[in-house]
């Protein structure tokens, strides 16, 4: 970025922030979107769309959400839509443990100890890398790594919103980059394989068919994210003055002897807990394992228990630290820590209520499926060269991702369309899946429809009270655009050089 282009970029991002913050409050925005979905579903119901539903093979029909039956069902499910909405439970359970660790001072002491041994210039890549690795723990990065990114940057004397941006970029923008295989790999592979077998029943894919690409992509995302954070985002944030509740945040002051002693006891308790978990999971017949003996399969009890384990990972050392330092003397003290954490989540819960209702209405209407099917039809009709087609798949996926957030649910809709279509063009299912993963990751960080987006806004408001959707969108837009472009080029270079995408993976499909 040249000296002359920098002011132009900053001016554009400032405009994005201003325009974005003029949008209604997130809760009101989702109410408006839900009403729009109702009206659009009414307008398109009964219309012959000329599209086939990939899930059923039947004509795709838009369901009128304003019909008496649909509205009655909507109201009957309103409570369960909210109470069973996955991000709500994930966030609240994790925050209970984190609240105790923060109340007792354990997080404060731990970060100050970390700052003492970490060079300031390495903070950005470290935060992004931790965000990427957090994918192994499913959604834990959203409630754990992102707020800590802000705290770490603040403790180092840097703008905390830049730390939140770097962490968000690693956790969500780099969702398909990871050194460590996660439950997402076999989940997407299974959907891809099912889509491929629509055309060829003999196709069998390895669960790690994209592993080499996603692992090496981690280096790309960390490097580019580092540049964007330090050279584009943080300079832009100089105009965002800190006016939030900063009293309890850590500083760079050295640890006192009693704090060091309490921290050692807390870390010892953490190590003991991890050892107990590792030992109990090491047996072949361990209750932590799935039926096939896997610890990392999506169905494995260990993977399903990630969030409760995070709760304990912070609760236990938080209590131990609090007792050792004298902050926790009775059961009321650590309950107070939990209560404070929950009181801070009130605004988030209000937003989640309306997001849950919107997502239900949008899913029931079939509008998301219509968007995916029509987009794929246009791409297929263009009959472009293979490299251009793959690029089109990435950008189309990124666009659809603005409206349909779940990676697995979206691929379940798109794979039966994209995979057989690309196979007919000689492109392998492995490459189709890699392209999808880039598009799915890159735009996660700029869509308010992503369930965790409002949570990140809440994290920002801790430091800058006026922060809103526009603030976060302006912060993350450079990551989204540059990630998508460079990651696409990276995949095309991978392809041109013939570097394997993963285990037993190919680029070409030969019937």
| Token pair for 146 | 């992102």
Quick one: pLDDT at residue 405?
A: 59
How large a percentage of the chain has pLDDT more than 70?
Answer: 88
| Contact partners, residue 503, CB within 8 Å, separation at least 6 | 206, 208, 209, 211, 212
Of the candidates 405, 462, 400, 410, which has an alpha carbon nearest to the alpha carbon of residue 433?
410
pLDDT of 367 higher than 50: yes
Does 198 fall in a domain? Answer: yes
Count the neighbouring beta carbons within 10 Å of the beta carbon of residue 503: 14
Does 113 fall in a domain? Answer: yes
452 burial level (CB within 10 Å; 0-12, 13-18, 19+): buried
Q: Mean pLDDT for the chain?
A: 83
Long-range interactions of 216-221: CB distance < 8 A, separation 24+: 217/174, 217/176, 217/177, 217/487, 217/490, 218/129, 218/132, 218/174, 218/177, 218/178, 218/179, 220/177, 220/486, 220/487, 220/490, 221/128, 221/132, 221/169, 221/170, 221/173, 221/174, 221/177, 221/483, 221/487
**Span 161-166, mean pLDDT?**
94
pTM (2 d.p.): 0.71
Quick one: pLDDT at residue 4?
A: 47
Produce one character per residue of 361-398: b if its CB has 16 or more CB atoms within 10 Å, e if not: bbbbbbbbbbbbbebbeebbeeeeebeebbbbbbbbbb
**Span 21-41, mean pLDDT?**
82
**Span 284-291, mean pLDDT?**
89
More confident call, 96 vs 216: 216
**Span 147-162, mean pLDDT?**
88
Does 491 fall in a domain? Answer: yes
**Span 103-117, mean pLDDT?**
77
pLDDT digits (tens, 9 = 90+) for 198-207: 678 888 888 7
Could you tell me how far CA 30 lies from the centroid of its own chain?
19
DSSP per-residue string spanning 427-456 = B-HHHHHHHHHHHHHHTGGG-TTSTTHHHH
Quick one: pLDDT at residue 249?
A: 64
pLDDT of 1 higher than 60: no
Q: Which of 73-87, 196-210, 411-425 has the lowest mean pLDDT?
A: 411-425
Does 508 fall in a domain? Answer: no
pLDDT of 137 higher than 60: no
Quick one: pLDDT at residue 304?
A: 78
Quick one: pLDDT at residue 141?
A: 72
Q: Is 400 helix (H, G, I), strand (E, B) or coil?
A: helix
Confidence of residue 406 (pLDDT cuts 50, 70, 90): low
Which segment, 4-13, 83-92, 230-239, 483-492, is predicted with the most confidence on average?
A: 483-492
Domain coverage including residue 385? 14-38+95-497
Does 58 fall in a domain? Answer: no
Quick one: pLDDT at residue 203?
A: 85
Give the total number of structural domains in the chain.
1
Does 489 fall in a domain? Answer: yes
Quick one: pLDDT at residue 470?
A: 84
Quick one: pLDDT at residue 3?
A: 42
**Span 150-167, mean pLDDT?**
90
Does 143 fall in a domain? Answer: yes
Residue listed under structure tokens 């809760």 = 27
Contact between 112 and 156 under an 8 Å Cβ cutoff? The reply is no
Quick one: pLDDT at residue 5?
A: 47
Q: Can you tell me the distance from the alpha carbon of 353 to that of 23, in angstroms, rounded to the nearest whole number?
A: 19
pLDDT digits (tens, 9 = 90+) for 239-258: 788 887 776 665 557 788 99
């Amino acid at each position: 970025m040249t000296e002359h282009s920098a002011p132009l970029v900053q001016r554009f991002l400032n405009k994005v922030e201003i325009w974005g913050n003029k949008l209604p409050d997130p809760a009101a925005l989702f109410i408006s979107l839900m009403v729009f979905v109702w009206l659009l579903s009414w307008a398109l119901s009964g219309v012959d769309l000329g599209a086939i539903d990939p899930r059923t093979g039947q004509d795709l029909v838009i369901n009128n959400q304003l019909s008496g039956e649909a509205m009655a069902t909507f109201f009957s499910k309103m409570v369960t839509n909210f109470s069973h909405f996955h991000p709500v439970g994930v966030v609240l359970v994790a925050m209970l443990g984190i609240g105790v660790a923060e109340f007792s001072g354990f997080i404060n002491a731990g970060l100050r100890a970390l700052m003492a041994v970490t060079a300031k210039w390495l903070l950005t890549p470290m935060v992004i890398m931790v965000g990427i690795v957090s994918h192994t723990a499913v959604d834990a990065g959203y409630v754990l790594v992102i707020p800590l990114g802000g705290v770490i940057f603040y403790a180092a004397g840097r703008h905390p919103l830049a730390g939140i941006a770097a962490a968000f970029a690693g956790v969500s923008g780099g969702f398909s980059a990871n050194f460590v295989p996660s439950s997402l790999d076999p989940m997407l592979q299974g959907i891809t394989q099912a889509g491929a077998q629509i055309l060829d029943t003999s196709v069998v894919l390895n669960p790690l068919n994209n592993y080499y690409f996603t692992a090496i992509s981690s280096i790309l995302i960390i490097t580019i994210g580092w540049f964007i954070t330090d050279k584009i985002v943080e300079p832009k944030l100089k105009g965002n003055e800190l006016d939030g509740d900063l009293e309890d945040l850590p500083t760079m002051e050295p640890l006192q002897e009693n704090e060091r002693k309490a921290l050692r006891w807390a870390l010892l308790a953490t190590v003991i807990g991890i050892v107990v978990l590792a030992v109990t999971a090491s047996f072949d017949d361990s209750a932590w394992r799935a039926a096939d003996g896997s610890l990392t399969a999506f169905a494995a009890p260990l993977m399903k228990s990630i969030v409760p384990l995070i709760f304990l990972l912070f609760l236990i050392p938080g209590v131990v630290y609090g007792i050792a330092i004298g902050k926790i003397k009775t059961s009321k003290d650590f309950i107070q820590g939990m209560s404070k954490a929950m009181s801070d989540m009130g605004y988030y819960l209000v937003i989640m209520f309306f997001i849950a209702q919107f997502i239900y209405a949008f899913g029931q209407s079939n509008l998301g499926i219509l968007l995916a099917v029509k987009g794929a039809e246009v791409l297929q009709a263009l009959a472009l060269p293979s490299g251009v087609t793959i690029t089109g798949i990435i950008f189309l996926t990124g666009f659809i991702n603005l409206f349909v957030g779940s990676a697995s649910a979206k691929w379940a809709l798109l794979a039966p369309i994209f995979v057989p279509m690309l196979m007919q063009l000689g492109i392998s299912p492995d490459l189709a899946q890699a392209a999808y993963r880039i598009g799915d990751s890159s735009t996660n960080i700029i869509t308010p429809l992503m369930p965790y987006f409002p949570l990140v806004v809440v994290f920002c408001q801790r430091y800058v009270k006026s922060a809103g959707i526009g603030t976060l969108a302006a912060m993350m837009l450079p990551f989204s655009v540059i990630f998508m472009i460079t990651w696409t080029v990276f995949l095309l270079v991978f392809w041109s050089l013939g570097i394997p995408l993963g285990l037993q993976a190919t680029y070409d499909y030969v019937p």
